[in-house]
Structure 1
Amino acid sequence: MRPMIPTRTLPANTATIQEAATILATGGLVAFPTETVYGLGADALNPTAVGRIFAAKGRPAEDPLIVHLADLSDLARVTPHCPPVVAHLAAHCWPGPLTLVLPRGPAVPYRVTAGLETVAVRVPAHPVARALIAAAGTPIAAPSANRFGHTSPTTAAHVLADLDGRIEMVLDGGPATLGVESTVLDLSAPIPTLLRPGGVSLETLRDLLGEVALGGRAAPTGGQIAPGLLDRHYAPDNALHLCIGAAAACQGWLYHTAQTQLAAGRQVGLLIPDDDVALFADLAVDIEPLGPTSDPLVIAARLYAALRALDARQPDLILARDVGDVGIARAIRDRLTRAAAGRVEMV
């Protein structure tokens, strides 16, 4: 049985950030807010501390970690050289939700990179995250602060639900504002390649770079080049079924499926936009509204919190639909597709 660690949750301020930095400097684990989701941080250059992240989360060694920097000037600590395009991207997207895959520097342990010669790096925009990295004086490796494969955390309470007794501290900086993970762009490929959609859209990247290829498939064996590529990820404990297609067609599929499942005596949860709620008024379903389809940023910010809330009420199944593939909606589709783990209906 894993020994329990007293986990303290403290409001983020100057004093607690310094205390958290001391924990990191001595090989401990601290969960902290970023603009995307809460991260589980360790000293990225300390292989023993990095190993504790994998143990706390139950994360396989083949899934790499993102290294977080306080500033662009810290890149030299984790990568020996950068393509010229890095400065261009950084000027427009850092600090912010863009992760770049670059050559691994010799100081970065292979535990961080899943044994590969590339490292995923970003400069977060959240003031608490940047203050913590600066106070620690070292790059911080940080995946999402949750059980591996589970729905990502956007509040300190979500972190505790998954990791209480496994880490030393949670810095509470309030809810994450973006609500989905960073975009991952592979700059080690001949053509910049989008591996994971996120807070910086594909449209923005193409405006900045011209050609951007689409990737995002997991390697069949060995280490992955970036996190978030596995077919099952971000998943609730109860089965999620996703419908992809035109809004009216998806609404019809959701209604018919819910009606059929209710008739079979099953409890049905719906994770749907505000626009759809009235359509299910005559069905005894449990609804978590996500926000209006006219504002997908609101849907992204609410996605994980709503999914966790619905999952906690333990329906027999959860039904959801996507909201398109433009801008942040592409990231929402990606997260729901992986959370559905193959239970996807195209209409």
Structure 2
Amino acid sequence: MRPMIPTRTLPADAASIQEAATILAAGGLVAFPTETVYGVGADALNPDAVARIFTAKGRPAEDPLIVHLAQLSDLPRVTKGYPAVVDHLAAHCWPGPLTLVLPRGPAVPYGVTAGRETVAVRIPAHPVARALIAAAGTPVAAPSANRFGHTSPTSAAHVLADLHGRIAMVLDGGPATLGVESTVLDLSGPIPTLLRPGGVSLETLRDLLGEVAVGGRAAPTGGQVAPGLLDRHYAPDNALHLCIGPDTACQAWLQQAARTQMAAGRRVGLLIPDEDVALFADLAVDIEPLGPASDPLAIAARLYAALRALDARQPDLILARDVGEAGIARAIRDRLTRAAATVHDGSEGVVF
């Protein structure tokens, strides 16, 4: 049995940030807020500290970590040269929710990169994250602060629900504002390739760079080039069934699915935009509204918190639909698709 670590939760003030930096410097683990989700960090240049992240999360070694920097001038500490386009992207997107896959520098342990010669790097926009990294004096490797494969955390309470007793400290900086993870852009090949949609949209990247390919498939064997590519990820404990398609088709499918499952004696949870709530007024379903379908930024900010809240009430199944693929809606679709046990297009019958 893994020994328990006393996990303290402290407000993210200057004194706590300095204490957290001391823990990182000693090889310990600290959870902290970013603008995307909460991360669990370790000294990215300390192989033993990095290994503790994988143990705490139950994360497989083939899933690499993102290295977080305090400022652009730190990039040479973790990369072995990088293309000139990085400076262009940094001027527009850093600090912010954009992760770049670049050549690995020799100081970065292979444990961070899943054995690959590339490293994923970003500069977070959250002031607590940047203050912590600066105080620690080292790049910080930090995946989301949850048990592996589970719904990502957007609050200190979410972190404790998954990692209490496994990490030394949680810096409580309030709710994450963006609510979904960073965009991952691979710059290690001839064409910039979007691997994971996130807070910087594909449309923005194409405005900045011109041609941007869309990838994001997991490697069949060996280490992944970036996190967030595995088919099953971000998942609640109770099965999620997702509909992707025209709004009216998915609304009709959700209604039929809810009635069918309730008739079979199952408790149904719904993760839906505000506009859909009235469609289920005559059904005894458990609803977590996400916000207006016309405001995907609001839905992204609420997505994981709503999914965790609904999951905690233990419905027999959760039904959801996506809200398109423009802008950050592409990231919402990606997270729900990877979290889902089944995906439907709205034109089929209700068969799980």
TM-score with structure 2 length normalisation? Answer: 0.98
- Mapping for residues 125-204 of structure 1, pairs under 5 Å: 125-204=125-204
Return the alpha-carbon distance in structure 1 between the equivalents of residues 283 and 73 of structure 2. Answer: 56
**Structure 2 CA distance for aligned equivalents of residues 80 and 235 of structure 1:** 35
Give SS of 2:53's match. helix
Deviation, 1:129, is 0.1
* Helix, strand or coil at the partner of 2:326: coil
Please tell me the residue identity of whatever aligns with 1:112.
V
Letter of the 1:179 partner, please give it. Answer: G
2:106 is matched by which residue type in structure 1? P
Distance 2:110 2:165 in 1: 27
Aligned residue in 1 for 2:333? 333
The offset of 1:186, in angstroms, is: 0.1
Letter in 2 for 1:32: F
Match of 1:36 in 2: 36
Counterpart position of 2:27: 27
Partner of 1:219 in structure 2? 219
Deviation at 1:27, TM superposition (A): 0.3
Partner AA of 2:173 in structure 1: G
User: What TM-score, normalized by structure 1, do the two folds share?
Assistant: 0.99
Q: What letter is aligned with 1:181?
A: E
User: 3-state SS of the aligned residue for 1:251?
Assistant: helix
1:346 maps to 345
* Structure 2: stretches of 5+ with no match in the other structure: 347-352
Mapping for residues 21-100 of structure 1, pairs under 5 Å: 21-100=21-100
Q: Aligned-pair RMSD on alpha carbons?
A: 0.4
Q: Secondary structure at the residue paired with 2:31? A: strand
| 2:349 equivalent in structure 1 | none
**Which residue number in structure 2 is paired with residue 290 of structure 1?**
290
User: What residue is the counterpart of 2:234 in the other structure?
Assistant: 234
Q: CA deviation at 1:80?
A: 1.6
* Consecutive aligned runs of 4 or more in structure 1 exceeding 2 Å deviation: none
In the TM superposition, what is the alpha-carbon distance from 1:322 to its structure 2 partner? 0.3
Letter in 2 for 1:14: A
Task: State the Cα distance separating 1:95 from its structure 2 match.
Answer: 0.1
The C-alpha deviation readout for 1:59-90, integer Å capped at 9, x for no partner, is 00000000000001100000020101000000
Residue number in structure 1 paired with 2:271: 271
Q: 2:143 and 2:294 mapped to 1: Cα distance?
A: 30
Which runs of 5 or more residues in structure 1 are unaligned? none
SS of equivalent to 2:185: strand
Compute the displacement of 1:190 (Å). Answer: 1.2
Distance 2:14 2:336 in 1: 36
Deviation (angstroms), 1:225: 0.2
Deviations 1:171-202 (A, max 9, x none): 00000000000000000021000000000000
Helix, strand or coil: the match of 1:184?
Answer: strand
- Deviation of residue 346 (structure 1)? 1.3
